[in-house]
Structure 1
Amino acid sequence: MEPSPSSDSNVSAPNPIIFCGAGPGDPDLITVKGQQALAAADLVVYAGSLVPEALLKWTRPGCRHLSSAGLHLDEMVASMADAHTDGKKVVRLHTGDPSLYGAIFEQMAKLSERGIPYTVIPGVTAAFAAAAALGIEYTLPEISQTLILTRMAGRTPVPEAETLAALAAHQATMAIYLSISMIDEMARTLGDAYGTEAVCAVVYRASQPDQKILWTPIGRLAETVREAGIKRTALVMVGRVLDVSLETLKHHSKLYDRHFAHGYRDAEKRQ
Structure 2
Amino acid sequence: MIHFVGAGPGAVDLITVRGMRLIGEADVIIYAGSLVNPGLLDYAKKNPDIYNSAEMTLEEVAEVMSTADKEGKSVVRLHTGDASIYGAVREQMDILDAMGIEYDSTPGVSACFGAAASLNIEYTLPDVTQTLIITRMEGKTGVPDRESIESLAAHRTSMAIYLSAGMTEELSKRLMDAGVCGDMPAAIIYKATWPEERIVICTVSTLGKRAKEAGITKTAIILVGDAVTHTKYSRSKLYDPTFSTEYRTAKGELQK
Contact persistence 1:187–1:222 (CA under 8 A): yes
Q: Counterpart of 1:255? A: 238
Q: Does 1:68 align with 2:77?
A: no
Partners of 2:197 and 2:233 in 1: CA distance: 31
SS in 1 for 2:47: coil
Q: For residues 88-237 of structure 1, what are the structure 2 equivalents within 5 Å?
A: 88-192=73-177, 193-237=179-223
Task: Give the TM-score of the pair, scaled to structure 1.
Answer: 0.91
Contact persistence 1:173–1:239 (CA under 8 A): yes
Partners of 1:191 and 1:225 in 2: CA distance: 17
| Amino acid corresponding to residue 74 of structure 1 in structure 2 | E
Q: Counterpart of 1:20? A: 5
Q: Does 1:264 align with 2:247?
A: yes
SS in 2 for 1:194: coil
SS in 2 for 1:186: helix
- Quote how far apart the aligned CAs of 1:242 are: 2.2
Deviations 1:204-251 (A, max 9, x none): 000001000001122111011011111101000001222424xxx551
| Amino acid corresponding to residue 135 of structure 1 in structure 2 | N
Partners of 1:191 and 1:104 in 2: CA distance: 34
| Amino acid corresponding to residue 59 of structure 1 in structure 2 | A
Deviations 1:48-71 (A, max 9, x none): 111011111111112121100110
Deviations 1:14-61 (A, max 9, x none): xx2000000001110000010110010000000011101111111111
- Measured at CA, do residues 143 and 250 of structure 1 come closer, stay the same or move farther in structure 2, by a change above 3 Å? closer
Partners of 2:165 and 2:90 in 1: CA distance: 25
Tell me which stretches of 4 or more aligned residues in structure 1 moved more than 4 Å. Answer: none
SS in 1 for 2:189: strand
- Quote how far apart the aligned CAs of 1:189 are: 1.3
Partners of 1:226 and 1:55 in 2: CA distance: 31
- Measured at CA, do residues 74 and 139 of structure 1 come closer, stay the same or move farther in structure 2, by a change above 3 Å? same
Deviations 1:160-206 (A, max 9, x none): 10011110111110000001111111010122332111110010000
Q: Does 1:51 align with 2:6?
A: no
Partners of 1:183 and 1:84 in 2: CA distance: 43
Q: Alignment length, in residue pairs?
A: 253
Partners of 2:253 and 2:133 in 1: CA distance: 38
Contact persistence 2:125–2:233 (CA under 8 A): no
| Amino acid corresponding to residue 95 of structure 1 in structure 2 | T
Partners of 2:10 and 2:133 in 1: CA distance: 22
- Quote how far apart the aligned CAs of 1:269 are: 2.6
Identity of aligned residues (%): 45
Deviations 1:115-134 (A, max 9, x none): 00000000000000000101
Partners of 1:217 and 1:237 in 2: CA distance: 10
SS in 1 for 2:118: helix
Partners of 2:91 and 2:161 in 1: CA distance: 23
| Amino acid corresponding to residue 188 of structure 2 in structure 1 | V
Structure 1's unaligned 5+ residue stretches are: 1-15
Q: Counterpart of 1:10? A: none
Partners of 1:161 and 1:209 in 2: CA distance: 37
- Quote how far apart the aligned CAs of 1:79 are: 0.5
Contact persistence 2:158–2:224 (CA under 8 A): yes
